[in-house]
Amino acid sequence: MPRDEAERLRRLFGAHEPEELRTYLAVADGRKYIAGSTVRALGQFKRLLSGLYVPEKVATSTAPMDLVAVYVTLRELSNGRVNAEQTTAAISRFSKSALIRTCALFMANYRADPKHLDNWNSLLLESLNDGPRERAMNLLRQGRVLLTPQGALVLAKLALAYAQPEPQRMDPLAANWFGVLVIGIHDLLESTSAARADGDSDTERASLSQCLELSANTWFNRMLDDVTNILALYERRWANPRRRSAFRAAEAFERTQGFPIEAQARVAIALWASAYASKRPTVQRAYLSSLGIDEQTMTRILDLISVSIVDAEASVNVEIAPSSFAWNFDTFERYPVLRDTDDSLIVMDPALLLRRCLGWAPVYDLAEAGTATRHGLARVTEDYALEILQEMYPHEGVNKRLYVEAELRSAFPEGQIADAAVDFGTSWVVFELTSRIPLRGVVHGENTDDLEQQIDIVLEELEQISSTIVNISDGAHRLVEHAAGPTRERLRFYPVVVFTEGFPTNPVLLAEIRDRVRTRRLFDGHDVAPVEVIDITELELLESVVEHGGPTIPELLEDKAASSFWSDSLNNYLISGSRLRLVRASRIDSLFNAPLDRIIALLEQREAR
């Protein structure tokens, strides 16, 4: 392409609207046409984050509602509602082991690639009669979902409680009974949710109940099952802390459990690889024999992360109560591997397995180590979040943007201080980092009182940001090198709370948090953007945007605030609303490969003997 043509295109789509374009437009009946023709003009243009100007219709992004998937119920296919007694009676026709293994196979397929649902849908459709099949296909065309991971794990809970121990019972894949059972469970989930909503006569309480249900749903379907992020955080938190003076979590774990957490990580990654990569969630215990772990240690590891099917049955009974039915999967979160009588190991969910063995969950195995141990691990975790910020904004020469807590405290000795603040000249992004886990009553969708308490926890973190904003507004010159004195320019602030272990951010909950901020007048008198609540994965997404030359954080948050994702999670906005090309940050590549490289090196050594 000649240079002059390239320049003309650049001006046309990358700068302001050219004058020569306007001369070709005519207006008739309130509509724009190309002059001298009946061809409609493209209409209004919108500037994207990339700087590109595109027609407004093309620029319209996905809305949060477009990301909501609604499951199909058996009532919609058969015109008859299924009750709990009918469901448990149907489940009792099957072998406990066979039904659990089928649920595990479904979860392994789903976690590896949700597109595998098409194969499971096809099996289900083939088993239906003409009328229900036609209705199911019509609902699929409308974007509805036949089979869900929530339905599969609820089915696994009910299988533990009601299926029979005899192995000769019917195979759940015969005539695809698995799919029919999952859709029947959707009826029970719908009934449970409706009953809870009907029980809240108070309007405000009913609104909180809806928020609670959505928060539990968000938590269950959150993006923390990305293996790269989990492995990167494991490397820093447990295996290789960045600072030499950091708390040694791995040593505390070994003192308490009698074996290194690295051995547990090897077992978890091997089982995950079989379930996730090979779609083989059920393996014999002998499969782990190549990991270089002695039999006594292997038994101790499996006792910690797995449970027999018989013992799981006793554990799961609490979770099938009405208040816990839909979202409480404590048994599978604590024991993501079930042991069968034939010495086989069944991975119920590859994502739960990694979170149990490589995430925050091992902290609960250190209960006897005391509060100091948990606080030490919290510091290491928050150090990881600071490492991300330091990679994004390194101190190079006189160009300093990031100020951490110690620097903020030195400049502002009075009042509360946030963990970090980033200077963008006329604006600041202020971060508060916390390793607090979301409350159980929230993530299980059980308790609106817990939801109120969870909101209060966020507001406590925001109070530290508020105090920091006041300090910077009055005395930014105490921080910024080479500043002559107080600035007269009004600064804009962007408050961001980072929950390192995840947070169920959704449009209803975030809007409620922002309403409480306004009610408490936390940021009155200052130019403050809407509050954002994010997790460590979303902070890593911001790292990717910065590393690959994307918009600044203030620009990005302004665009989010003006989009249909204004009160949704940053994750949903970045992936579905920003039109940015997201590439994993290089720092994560080296970190998440480290534990994998150690396992590969060990296996190669054993093969060489």
Q: Which two tokens stand for residue 512?
A: 């409620």
Judged against a pLDDT cut of 50, whether residue 224 lies above it is answered with: no
**Cβ(270)–Cβ(347) below 8 Å:** no
Range of lowest pLDDT (128-142, 314-328, 523-537, 575-589): 314-328
Q: How many residues does the chain have?
A: 609
Exposure string for 446-481, b = 16+ CB within 10 A, e = fewer: bbbebbbebbebbbebbebbbbbbbbbbebbeebbe
Please tell me the predicted confidence (pLDDT) of residue 8.
Answer: 44
Whether 173 is in a domain gets the answer yes
Average pLDDT, the chain: 84
Whether 33 is in a domain gets the answer no
Alpha-carbon torsion 38, 44, 50, 52, what sign?
Answer: positive
Whether 44 is in a domain gets the answer no
Looking at the fold, whether 104 and 253 belong to one and the same domain comes out as no
Looking at the fold, whether 152 and 135 belong to one and the same domain comes out as yes
Whether 19 is in a domain gets the answer no
Judged against a pLDDT cut of 50, whether residue 184 lies above it is answered with: yes
Judged against a pLDDT cut of 70, whether residue 42 lies above it is answered with: no
**Cβ(97)–Cβ(167) below 8 Å:** yes
Segment 575-580 mean pLDDT? 88
Please tell me the predicted confidence (pLDDT) of residue 59.
Answer: 54
Please tell me the predicted confidence (pLDDT) of residue 458.
Answer: 98
Judged against a pLDDT cut of 90, whether residue 558 lies above it is answered with: yes
Domain end (from 221, 243, 272): 221
Judged against a pLDDT cut of 60, whether residue 223 lies above it is answered with: no
Please tell me the predicted confidence (pLDDT) of residue 609.
Answer: 63
Looking at the fold, whether 469 and 579 belong to one and the same domain comes out as yes
- Which residues form the domain of 176? 74-221
What is the helix, strand, coil percentage profile of the chain, to 5? Answer: 60, 10, 30
Query: How confident is residue 165, by pLDDT bands cut at 50, 70 and 90?
Result: confident
**Alpha carbon distance 99, 188 (integer Å):** 18
Query: How confident is residue 167, by pLDDT bands cut at 50, 70 and 90?
Result: confident
Exposure string for 302-338, b = 16+ CB within 10 A, e = fewer: bebbbbebeebbebbeebbeeebbbbbbebbbbbbbb
Looking at the fold, whether 299 and 343 belong to one and the same domain comes out as yes
Residue pLDDT, tens place only, 227-267: 888 999 999 988 888 876 667 888 888 988 999 999 999 99
Looking at the fold, whether 406 and 348 belong to one and the same domain comes out as no
Please tell me the predicted confidence (pLDDT) of residue 1.
Answer: 43
Looking at the fold, whether 479 and 435 belong to one and the same domain comes out as yes
Domain end (from 221, 239, 259): 221
Query: How confident is residue 43, by pLDDT bands cut at 50, 70 and 90?
Result: low
Query: How confident is residue 45, by pLDDT bands cut at 50, 70 and 90?
Result: low
Residue pLDDT, tens place only, 288-338: 998 999 999 999 999 999 999 999 998 898 888 877 788 999 999 999 999
Please tell me the predicted confidence (pLDDT) of residue 581.
Answer: 86
Looking at the fold, whether 401 and 485 belong to one and the same domain comes out as yes
Residue pLDDT, tens place only, 99-143: 999 999 999 999 988 888 889 999 899 888 999 999 999 999 998
Strand partners, 53: 47
Looking at the fold, whether 125 and 253 belong to one and the same domain comes out as no
The Cβ of residue 165 has, within 10 Å, a number of other Cβ atoms equal to 12
Pairing of strands 402-404, 420-423: antiparallel
Please tell me the predicted confidence (pLDDT) of residue 322.
Answer: 75
Looking at the fold, whether 189 and 338 belong to one and the same domain comes out as no
Query: How confident is residue 32, by pLDDT bands cut at 50, 70 and 90?
Result: low
The Cβ of residue 297 has, within 10 Å, a number of other Cβ atoms equal to 17
Please tell me the predicted confidence (pLDDT) of residue 203.
Answer: 61
Looking at the fold, whether 586 and 599 belong to one and the same domain comes out as no
CA distance to 180, 219, 244, per residue, from 197 (Å): 26, 20, 52
Range of lowest pLDDT (186-190, 305-309, 495-499): 186-190
Looking at the 3D structure of the chain, how many domains does it have? 3
Whether 48 is in a domain gets the answer no
Range of lowest pLDDT (63-67, 331-335, 397-401): 63-67
Q: Which two tokens stand for residue 50?
A: 């990339």
Domain end (from 170, 186, 221): 221
Residue pLDDT, tens place only, 329-374: 999 999 999 999 889 999 999 999 999 999 888 877 776 656 777 7
Locus of tokens 């066979």? 98
Residue pLDDT, tens place only, 195-212: 665 555 566 667 888 899
Query: How confident is residue 461, by pLDDT bands cut at 50, 70 and 90?
Result: very high
Please tell me the predicted confidence (pLDDT) of residue 24.
Answer: 45
Whether 25 is in a domain gets the answer no
Pairing of strands 25-28, 31-34: antiparallel
Higher confidence at residue 377 or residue 435? 435
Please tell me the predicted confidence (pLDDT) of residue 489.
Answer: 73
Alpha-carbon torsion 38, 44, 50, 51, what sign?
Answer: positive
